[in-house]
Structure 1
Amino acid sequence: MAGWFGSQSYTVATMTVTSTPSPDLAFTNLAYCSPSDLQSFAVPGSRLFLVNVGDAFVLSISPHESIRSKYIALNAIHRRLAKVSNGDTVSVSRFVPPENFNLALLRVELEFVKKGTKNEQVDAVHLANQLRKRFVNQVMTAGQKVTFEYHGNNYIFTINQAQLEGQETSIVPERGMISNDTYFIFEAQNSSGIKIVNQREAASSSIFRQKEFNLQSLGIGGLSAEFADIFRRAFASRVFPPHVTNKLGIKHVKGMLLYGPPGTGKTLMARQIGKMLNGKEPKIINGPEVLSKFVGETEKNVRDLFADAENDQRTCGDESDLHVIIFDEIDAICKSRGSTRDGTGVHDSIVNQLLTKIDGVESLNNVLLIGMTNRKDLLDEALLRPGRLEVQVEISLPDENGRLQILQIHTNKMKENSFLAPDVNLQELAARTKNYSGAELEGVVKSAVSFALNRQVSMDDLTKPVDEENIKVTMDDFLSALLEIVPAFGASTDDLERCRLNGMVYCGDRHKHIYQRAMLLVEQVKVSKGSPLVTCLLEGSSGSGKTALAATVGIDSDFPYVKIVSAESMIGLHESTKCAQIVKVFEDAYKSPLSIIILDDIERLLEYVAIGPRFSNLISQTLLVLLKRLPPKGKKLLVLGTTSEVGFLDSVGICDAFSVTYHLPSLKTDDAKKVLEQLNVFAEEDISEAAEALSDMPIKKLYMLIEMAAQGEQGGAAEAIFSGREKIKLAHFYDCLQDVIRFSLHPLCHQTKAVKWQGHTPFLKTWWLKPHLMIGWLVILSFFLLISMVVYVACLFLVAMEVVSLNKTMGFSRMVLDGSSSIQDQVSSELKILCKGFKFIWTRFRFS
């Protein structure tokens, strides 16, 4: 203890603890002893008497006639700190202070002795003068509690910091002696009911409960940059006293918005900020809780949130406490005005009420509104202007260093309790968990722990005791957990693998060239600073391997976000819903630093039908906009599209939206031969002949044909053929080829060995004989025949009507019985009328 506690060692004695002689003496912060024992604690060369009690704290000691020898009187707080009771013994020794022991700064926290005492305002300057006079030459230790009386109330102050003169940071334990120059900084918890005023000289750092911020200790990882931005913009001005900000002519920030993908820590950060601030207890409101079924009740709920802040500012002015209001899912109630059609206008009224409270005529300066949302685009623009939620911080997906911090936070207790195996490499896990959010990383840790615990549980006997010593979370547990917990904004590897079930085989130089070109585009997106958006279209006949190639590029790119958009996931959806899903995929891609989007079968997305032709113009315009829209700053995107109808896409202008277009051809004879050699399902002497028959066939149809032929003539031969024990017979292969080809009418198809795929090419090029076109012609012909019959019947009906009409109007129909004409004359007259009617009808029909 030499050099700090004293200049030399002193004899340690044992004394019996007793209470202070009277209650008033308890407020002096002195220890009392018998006059005969006082000289044992005299400081040489001074009139001070100091006692070191149990090496916990140092007190000034005074004599009292009522104290017996070998006894020391301590008040209740002293006994509590020394962890002794009346009648216990405690070790004591004389304390001699070293040189330069005067305190320059003493930071203390005030509270009432009795909880629940009414609110009191304490003048910092006056109280500091009182404490300096009362406790001068007394030694204070960090963490020590001192009780005193001030203006009729009993207080306790706890020493949070004791700094010596000429010393930037105190040595632990912090200890020093109060002098007439010691400067006091007072703090008080909001719940204490004590309001400190007139502390102008000191910075208002009491706005924070902690003096140092370790975000990892608060459970926040990977958000250091975001927190630094929040502190600079929202809290830096509040650290300084009000008179400084008044001289600067600035107002405090009243609101901030935390936005970003789900699970990134927005709510966690808002709650921790609320806990760190030394103001009123934060009010945490979930957005929908504000709504009410009664008219006007929703607006009243909003006003009630600010009622305490209004009363506090009305009473205390600039000295009022900070009121923190946290809105979770603020987009639920603060939608853009005019966007909802509920007929009540409640959402518009909420926004109006909130704006008047934050930045109205009687705006509050003691309130901080923190909003959180996943959909910033839904919020009313007026809320985002300066003076409202002006500090907008994006809480994005953590980078590798941030993921490492998050994993360290969630595995810290495992490591402390020796449950984490030595082979666990958190750095490697952080590198492998690209685009994982904080919540998903927590899920990975939980899943890994479940694997470790499951090894200690016997399903046959659940009553078997658990061996805690053998519980170890290993690296294999974490790797298994990564297979279970898939990031929402990660690469959908399973979906991509389903696009290439047969893997990738070498299909010739053209396919290899296109793959290499696509990978160069991937590299361009990674390193280029001038092209954050690159688009590529892969076109070719159906089954030529476009989707498989695009999926392979996505997998080999090692991009953290790879998503495939196909029509199979949008079956039965309306156009607007399809557009919303496509837009969401692009919006999610903008949240990742590197992303790939695969638009598979674009003509199917557009609902293209050749007869008509028909397609969705709404989806077409959506794709045109998205293919040309640049991602946000710092984000890069590669879009790969596939199509079998490049002519149609060119006619609607989508081809022009892609930066580059590559054509994937069908397999030529040499390409088919290379594929068959890799599959190793034919005898060597049959490969060339089989490859010649497969010329101009798409790779997907080739695989289907090989699968059919590998079953054998009687079935059950597939395992032997694919294992290499047997080979596909060429005759059976030709039979299967005849089934795969659409028409088997050509004479060459009935020849066993002479049949060649190219032999069908001229026949298939007689386009008018193709089944789907023949059916189309029959449908069109039937339609015209039906129209002709309808016109014919309509003409007959018009003829009859015109005849009757003319007969009546012209008065030529006469009865034979009236004797005015003969039957022959009547018939002749009617025939003349009929001829005139036909002539009249023809004239009208011709001119119409």
Structure 2
Amino acid sequence: MRVVSTPLQELALTNCAYCSPSDMSRYRRPKYEDAMALVNGILVLTLRYPFTTLLASFVQPTGSLALNAYQRRNVKVSVGDPISVESFDPLSVSRMTVVSVELDTLMKNKKSSDQVDARNLSKELTKRFKGQVFSVGQKAPFEYLGTNYSFHVISMLLDGQLENAGSTQGLLAPDTHFQFETAGNSGFKISNQLGGQSTNIFKGKDLNFQKLGIGGLDAEFQDIFRRAFASRVFPPHIIAKLGIPHVKGLLLFGPPGTGKTLIARQIGKMLNGREPKVVNGPEVLSKFVGETEKNVRDLFADAENDQKTRGDQSDLHIIIFDEIDAICKTRGSTRDGTGVHDSIVNQLLTKIDGVEALNNILLIGMTNRKDLLDEALLRPGRMEVQIEIGLPDEKGRFQILSIHSNKMKENSFLSADVDLKELASKTKNFSGAELEGLVKSATSFALNRQVSAADLSKEIVEDNIKVTMDDFKSALDEVKPAFGAAINTLEMCRLNGMLNCGERHAHIQRTVMTFVEQVRKSERTPLLTCLLEGPGGSGKTALAATIGIESGFPFIKIVSAENMIGLQESTKCGMITKVFEDAYKSPLSIIILDDIERLLEFVDIGPRFSNVILQTILVLLKRSPPKGRKLLVIGTSSLVRVLESMSLLDAFNVHLNVPQLKPADMKQVLKELNVFNPADIDNAVTALDEEIPIKRLLMLIEMAAQGGDEGANVYKGDHKIELAHFFEIVGDHIVFRN
């Protein structure tokens, strides 16, 4: 047959080829009668693409086949060219379940309406093209609401199997579902589209975090899923009816090593579709003018093109910013003279929540310093979901230890005596990274037993490798948490241990321990402050350290002036504030403010003190911890009159006086130390003052012990202090000061 143009414009928009009745009769064969009836009398002819062919008596002369411009372009022929035609059985073609098409306007200078309703358009296309056969790659024109469009078949789902090869053909049925995309320069968007990939953004039917290597973060993951992904599981038209846009930003913050980067990395593995873009904050920076801003724009380029092309059906584009505080500092805080950091924040805000805001992105930022970020970045509509990834609790630590020891357990390298629950209880305030380091350290002890430094060529027997509980205990001595209880520092505050100094001291210790239990158990006491005041050397710091050690709280820190020698006021305030901020990250915390007058830099001459530090301590003592966090603050002071004059005394809920030792208390201490013969204790006490601080008494005993026989160790009971020598030390001209 010879190709001619379609005689009428309305016929050109039907996707049909036309021929004369005499030509059509040549193809009427008995075996096609039933097929023709099933497709409403339409007979399909095979060219490069199968076109439905209708009778058209006005097509002259005989032997001509009328094709529109798109059809001629599809089969690569021109008007007047010869073309071979043969019969085609439509019943041999599978029905299309889903067909994905790309829409575009025929008149590029004429823009259609801003949005095209997908459901109405699907009904119209089904009505017009029902019963026709289409191929992947085929293009066809049509008219809709006064505008001429074209659609390009991208892919189709035939009987449950996706096909996108050029030879694939499918029959458009009444129940065929359309998935629409738009061409890049089409100028309109698809709305109200049903189904799509947004309903299947996750791999698998359930999310098993432990299989992903994530432990102790179940609650945090539930929050992340609820805020950032739950809305994306529903079809776009339901979310459009709700009128709520998707969350576009997610900030993960918390101490180092708690799993922020791991979460972001595994989120990418959980999702179908596009790989997340991972960007380290400093990588965005460039020394060239404007290049940094361009780097930020390039991160969003794919998402912009996808949204323009596919509208609501666009894939989710995830951009992960590690160390986001490096580039999104508070505007105006940097003084480098370039203004680059401010420009980065401005560019990022424009892309997330600007005039042409994207709805197909999720920006995940991670930082240890949330306080450094620009506040405009954290408001709703931007990085509105802020999840604190804190230190794992005991259940979380057990999960993490199980994950990291799972391989050695499967391969019989883990000894049966290893109790992970016991290890979880002993690793308070360990981060996830530190727990992984603990397992590595324990493994190194086990491997070291199989290696001889004298003979490295010795054959290693695999069956002899066992990681035991003793290996983990050795690892606990080697791996210490960077965040949490400073037990070693507290032990240094009571070198002589906690002596029995009589009933008065014991009563004070019991009282403070009741405060510990109150903070631990009471839901109405998130913050409790207690001041231990008394003469210098009366044992206040040792008592506070003992309370901290015996409390078992995961976070215990002591704030002492000895760690701030030579520092400026602002630096000292920052150090004190950081201790409190760290305490807020732990469920139970104790902070010891030791020798408060020294922290305040108080001296009698002047008088002089630091008002900046004073105001900082006043604010921190009255600031309640976040929800779910509890804090006990213990202060010590030898100058309570000074604290009262500064209005600092009223900031503490409870004041307890730690007294000096009276004779009965001195006897108790000497009996416990066992450095005198029992008959000499009463005489030794008579040589002392009526009241004496415990610190001075211990110093006198130590001096008397060292002045005796050389090499004698009175504390082991080998020798006793001679009473005469003790009297000499006490009555000597040495003046003791605390």
Give 1:152's match in structure 2, choosing from 167, 178, 187.
167
1:402 matched residue in structure 2: 396
% identical equivalent positions: 68
> What CA distance in whole angstroms lies between the structure 2 residues aligned with 1:197 and 1:362?
16
Q: Is the CA contact 1:489–1:589 (under 8 Å) kept in the aligned structure 2?
A: no
Q: Deviations over 1:101-140 (max 9, x none)?
A: xxxxx999xxxxxxxx99999969x833xx23xx9xxxxx
1:523 matched residue in structure 2: 517
Three-state SS of the structure 2 residue aligned to 1:306 is: helix
Change (3 A) 1:185 1:668: farther
> What CA distance in whole angstroms lies between the structure 2 residues aligned with 1:654 and 1:646?
9
Give 1:228's match in structure 2, choosing from 222, 230, 251.
222
2:648 matched residue in structure 1: 654
What amino acid maps onto 2:335 in structure 1?
A: R
CA shift, 1:675, in A, is: 0.8
Q: Deviations over 1:18-44 (max 9, x none)?
A: xxxxxxxxxxxxxxxxxxxxxxxxxxx
> What CA distance in whole angstroms lies between the structure 2 residues aligned with 1:345 and 1:546?
52
What amino acid maps onto 1:567 in structure 2?
A: A
What amino acid maps onto 1:734 in structure 2?
A: F
Q: Is the CA contact 2:660–2:693 (under 8 Å) kept in the aligned structure 1?
A: yes
Q: Is the CA contact 2:541–2:594 (under 8 Å) kept in the aligned structure 1?
A: yes
What amino acid maps onto 1:292 in structure 2?
A: S
> What CA distance in whole angstroms lies between the structure 2 residues aligned with 1:313 and 1:552?
62
TM-score, with normalisation over the residues of structure 1? 0.65
2:407 matched residue in structure 1: 413
CA shift, 1:710, in A, is: 1.1
Change (3 A) 1:119 1:326: farther
2:724 matched residue in structure 1: 731
CA RMSD in angstroms comes to 3.0
Q: Is the CA contact 1:185–1:202 (under 8 Å) kept in the aligned structure 2?
A: no
1:436 matched residue in structure 2: 430
CA shift, 1:428, in A, is: 1.5
2:571 matched residue in structure 1: 577
Give 2:308's match in structure 1, choosing from 307, 310, 314.
314
2:482 matched residue in structure 1: 488
> What CA distance in whole angstroms lies between the structure 1 residues aligned with 2:153 and 2:725?
103
What amino acid maps onto 1:702 in structure 2?
A: L
Change (3 A) 1:563 1:154: farther
> What CA distance in whole angstroms lies between the structure 1 residues aligned with 2:195 and 2:153?
13
CA shift, 1:726, in A, is: 2.0
Give 2:635's match in structure 1, choosing from 635, 641, 652.
641
Q: Given the alignment of the two structures, is residue 587 of structure 1 paired with residue 616 of structure 2, yes or no?
A: no
Greater shift, 235-244 or 355-364, is seen at 235-244
CA shift, 1:147, in A, is: 9.2
Q: Given the alignment of the two structures, is residue 335 of structure 1 paired with residue 329 of structure 2, yes or no?
A: yes
CA shift, 1:277, in A, is: 1.9
Q: Is the CA contact 2:197–2:315 (under 8 Å) kept in the aligned structure 1?
A: no
What amino acid maps onto 1:700 in structure 2?
A: K
Q: Is the CA contact 1:537–1:641 (under 8 Å) kept in the aligned structure 2?
A: yes
Q: Is the CA contact 2:98–2:156 (under 8 Å) kept in the aligned structure 1?
A: no
1:259 matched residue in structure 2: 253
Three-state SS of the structure 2 residue aligned to 1:563 is: strand
> What CA distance in whole angstroms lies between the structure 2 residues aligned with 1:431 and 1:183?
59
Q: Given the alignment of the two structures, is residue 711 of structure 1 paired with residue 711 of structure 2, yes or no?
A: no
Give 2:696's match in structure 1, choosing from 701, 726, 731.
701
The 5 Å alignment of 1:496-511 reads: 496-511=490-505
- Show structure 1 runs of 5+ residues with no match: 1-105, 109-116, 136-145, 156-179, 187-195, 744-770, 773-848
Give 1:602's match in structure 2, choosing from 596, 601, 604.
596
The 5 Å alignment of 1:749-760 reads: none
CA shift, 1:712, in A, is: 3.6
> What CA distance in whole angstroms lies between the structure 2 residues aligned with 1:649 and 1:739?
35
> What CA distance in whole angstroms lies between the structure 2 residues aligned with 1:732 and 1:185?
104
> What CA distance in whole angstroms lies between the structure 1 residues aligned with 2:320 and 2:644?
52
The 5 Å alignment of 1:547-586 reads: 547-586=541-580
Q: Is the CA contact 2:193–2:237 (under 8 Å) kept in the aligned structure 1?
A: no
What amino acid maps onto 1:230 in structure 2?
A: I
Change (3 A) 1:714 1:580: same
Three-state SS of the structure 2 residue aligned to 1:204 is: helix
- Considering Cα pairs closer than 8 Å and 6+ residues apart, tell me whether 1 or 2 has the greater RCO: 2
Q: Is the CA contact 1:672–1:691 (under 8 Å) kept in the aligned structure 2?
A: yes
> What CA distance in whole angstroms lies between the structure 2 residues aligned with 1:557 and 1:303?
53
Give the number of the structure whose residues are more often helix, by fraction. Answer: 1
TM-score, with normalisation over the residues of structure 2? 0.74
> What CA distance in whole angstroms lies between the structure 1 residues aligned with 2:455 and 2:152?
66
CA shift, 1:399, in A, is: 1.6
What amino acid maps onto 2:156 in structure 1?
A: L
> What CA distance in whole angstroms lies between the structure 1 residues aligned with 2:178 and 2:666?
85
Greater shift, 328-337 or 707-716, is seen at 707-716
- Greater CA radius of gyration, 1 or 2? 1
Change (3 A) 1:418 1:199: farther
Q: Is the CA contact 2:193–2:236 (under 8 Å) kept in the aligned structure 1?
A: no
Change (3 A) 1:464 1:545: same
Q: Given the alignment of the two structures, is residue 453 of structure 1 paired with residue 468 of structure 2, yes or no?
A: no
What amino acid maps onto 2:722 in structure 1?
A: K
> What CA distance in whole angstroms lies between the structure 2 residues aligned with 1:316 and 1:708?
86
What amino acid maps onto 1:694 in structure 2?
A: L
Change (3 A) 1:184 1:475: farther
1:469 matched residue in structure 2: 463
Q: Is the CA contact 2:156–2:164 (under 8 Å) kept in the aligned structure 1?
A: no
What amino acid maps onto 1:471 in structure 2?
A: I
> What CA distance in whole angstroms lies between the structure 1 residues aligned with 2:325 and 2:499?
50
- Show structure 2 runs of 5+ residues with no match: 1-96, 100-135, 140-150, 180-189
The 5 Å alignment of 1:54-65 reads: none
1:206 matched residue in structure 2: 200
> What CA distance in whole angstroms lies between the structure 1 residues aligned with 2:556 and 2:195?
57
Give 1:742's match in structure 2, choosing from 706, 718, 735.
735
